[in-house]
């Protein structure tokens, strides 16, 4: 029979052993819980952040934390160069590292799809010792595993270095596979997003290049037209003077008038095109805040909006007195703006001119002044033929008209259908960006004239589709709105 004190010591040792086992079990349990929790945290950590390099860094840090590794490298495959690349390799975040896809432990893992778990990397011939010698880092234990896309192709490799306490276990391999599968989903999404953004950026650059080429070509044509037009006009004057001295004249006066008229049209087109090109160049090269420096001669004033518009309409109605159009001014009479009157006058006059040219005789235009919250709005509403949806997207581009040239080339300003090349709207858009106001547009094409090729007779009483005056007013029209901050 054993002495009592020996039995007590054995009982204490068993209790200590069980406590040790319990602690080990508790630690193992807590480790599993921590690893499972990290999978949930991975999604929360990344969230909607689809910036690839930043995402790789977050995944790498989380992998080091949960796997208790010293460093983590994530290499992705570049199919264009057949290389593995990373900005998160050997702790050197931000530096892009590229290696052939068949070199080193990472290359072997990627090519074969095998998991590599080494206690001592220096005992394996596949390990590239030169990396350690260059960085001064000493690699010992390694756990390397391929990353797969949802389609099953290999995206790259995740590689852990130097477990802090001991070596990487089979349990670590199992968890890293689960962790890598979750991380791969985010990586693949980020790659797709990056591909789309790169394609959009490439398209933007190409459009910018084409726009520059277009502007350069138009600028060249505009300047090339100027000299020959002037020479032709001079020669026509000489020819007219010489032929008119003969009796009877060799060339009729009507021919010279036709030549003069068409040359003037060409000259106007050249000058207007030149203005549009200069406007675009200023719009593309001058920030909005530099507008005040560009127009130092323009001085802002306090403007009583209602009386300002009233006087402007009186002048416009005299210029368009050959048209049968009613222009109505509505809205608040106590609104004020602090801006340069020249800019306001030019912007508003351009909108009203466009409205008159798109409204048939016997039609109506309303100019409305309103205050909404912190904004003052000036609306020009016509009840004319309206603008097709296709044309609406190009209204502020310049060098664009909503009707075929043949339909209006012989018409004067304020004539119905006189049209234009969009210079007024482009200029207003430029002013808005420089001086802090906005221009917007809404339009409904006349139901009886669905396309730009459908012609309006230019007078409501002559329209075969309208039985009453109200039929035309309710059929189509456009509203342009200038919005000014108070």
245: which DSSP letter? T
**3-class DSSP state of 52:** helix
Residues of the chain with CATH 1.10.287.130: 206-288
pLDDT at 287: 46
What's this model's pTM, rounded to 2 decimal places? 0.49
The first and second tokens of residue 321, run together, are 């007195």
- Write the CB contacts of 153 (distance below 8 Å, at least 6 apart in sequence): none
- Write the CB contacts of 96 (distance below 8 Å, at least 6 apart in sequence): 85, 86, 87
Torsion sign over Cα 459, 461, 463, 467:
positive
Helix (H) or strand (E) holding 185: helix 170-244
* 59 to 72, 120, 442: CA distances (angstroms): 9, 25, 49
* 224 to 228, 230, 360: CA distances (angstroms): 7, 11, 38
388: which DSSP letter? -
Fold of 206-288: Helix Hairpins (1.10.287)
Count the Cβ atoms, other than its own, within 10 Å of residue 254.
8
Torsion sign over Cα 215, 216, 218, 222:
positive
- Write the CB contacts of 463 (distance below 8 Å, at least 6 apart in sequence): 360, 448, 456, 457, 472
CATH number of 299-485: 3.30.565.10
Q: Is residue 263 within 8 Å of residue 240, measured between CB atoms?
A: no
pLDDT at 290: 44
Phi, psi (rounded to 5 degrees) for 303 = -115, 125
Residues of the chain with CATH 3.30.450.40: 27-197
Helix (H) or strand (E) holding 336: strand 336-339
Class of domain 27-197: alpha beta
pLDDT at 374: 87
The first and second tokens of residue 301, run together, are 């004033």
pLDDT at 288: 40
The first and second tokens of residue 235, run together, are 């020669």
Angstrom distance (rounded) from CA 160 to CA 144: 6
pLDDT at 9: 65
pLDDT at 367: 97
The first and second tokens of residue 386, run together, are 């309206």
Torsion sign over Cα 198, 199, 202, 203:
negative
pLDDT at 183: 85
Q: Is residue 39 within 8 Å of residue 59, measured between CB atoms?
A: no
Q: Which parts of the chain register pLDDT below 50?
A: 92, 287-297, 404-409
Complete DSSP assignment for 284-322 = HHS-GGGHHHHTTT---EEEEHHHHHHHHHHHHHHHTTT
């Amino acid at each position: 029979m054993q002495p009592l004190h020996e039995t007590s010591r054995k009982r204490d040792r068993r209790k200590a052993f069980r406590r040790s086992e319990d602690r080990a079990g508790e630690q193992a349990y807590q480790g599993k819980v921590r690893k499972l929790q990290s999978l949930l945290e991975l999604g929360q950590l990344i969230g909607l952040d689809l910036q690839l390099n930043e995402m790789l860094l977050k995944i790498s840090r989380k992998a080091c934390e949960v796997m208790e590794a010293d460093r983590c490298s994530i290499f992705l495959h570049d199919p264009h160069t057949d290389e593995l690349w990373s900005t998160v390799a050997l702790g050197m975040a931000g530096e892009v590292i590229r290696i052939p896809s068949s070199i080193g432990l990472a290359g072997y893992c990627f090519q074969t799809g095998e998991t590599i778990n080494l206690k001592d990397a220096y005992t394996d011939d596949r390990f590239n010792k030169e990396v350690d010698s260059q960085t001064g880092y000493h690699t010992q234990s390694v756990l390397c595993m391929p990353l797969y896309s949802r389609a099953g192709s290999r995206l790259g490799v995740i590689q852990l270095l130097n477990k802090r306490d001991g070596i990487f276990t089979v349990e670590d391999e199992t968890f890293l596979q689960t962790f890598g599968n979750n991380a791969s989903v985010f990586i693949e999404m980020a790659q797709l997003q990056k591909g789309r953004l790169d394609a959009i950026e490439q398209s933007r650059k190409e459009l910018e290049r084409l726009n520059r080429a277009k502007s350069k070509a138009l600028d060249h044509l505009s300047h090339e037209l100027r000299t020959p037009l002037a020479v032709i006009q001079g020669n026509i004057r000489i020819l007219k003077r010489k032929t008119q001295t003969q009796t009877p004249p060799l060339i009729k006066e009507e021919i010279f008038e036709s030549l003069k008229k068409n040359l003037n049209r060409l000259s106007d087109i050249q000058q207007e095109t030149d203005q549009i090109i200069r406007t675009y160049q200023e719009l593309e090269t001058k920030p909005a805040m530099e507008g005040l420096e560009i127009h130092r001669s323009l001085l802002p004033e306090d403007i009583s909006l209602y009386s300002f518009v009233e006087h402007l309409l009186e002048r416009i109605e005299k210029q368009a007195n050959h048209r049968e159009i009613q222009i109505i001014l509505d809205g608040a009479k106590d609104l004020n703006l602090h801006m340069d009157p020249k800019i306001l006058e030019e912007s508003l006059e351009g909108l009203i001119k466009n409205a008159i040219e798109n409204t048939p005789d016997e039609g109506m235009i309303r100019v409305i002044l309103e205050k909404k919250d912190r904004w003052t709005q000036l609306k020009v509403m016509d009840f004319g033929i309206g603008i097709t949806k296709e044309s609406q997207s190009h209204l502020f581009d310049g060098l664009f008209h909503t009707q075929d040239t043949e339909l209006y080339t012989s018409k004067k300003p304020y004539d119905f259908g006189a049209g234009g090349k969009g210079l007024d709207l482009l200029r207003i858009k430029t002013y808005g960006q420089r001086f802090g106001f906005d221009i917007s547009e809404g339009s409904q094409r006349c139901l009886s004239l669905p396309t730009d090729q459908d012609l309006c007779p230019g007078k409501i009483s002559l329209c075969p589709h309208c039985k009453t005056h109200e039929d035309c007013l309710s059929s189509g029209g456009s509203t342009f709105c200038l919005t000014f901050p108070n």
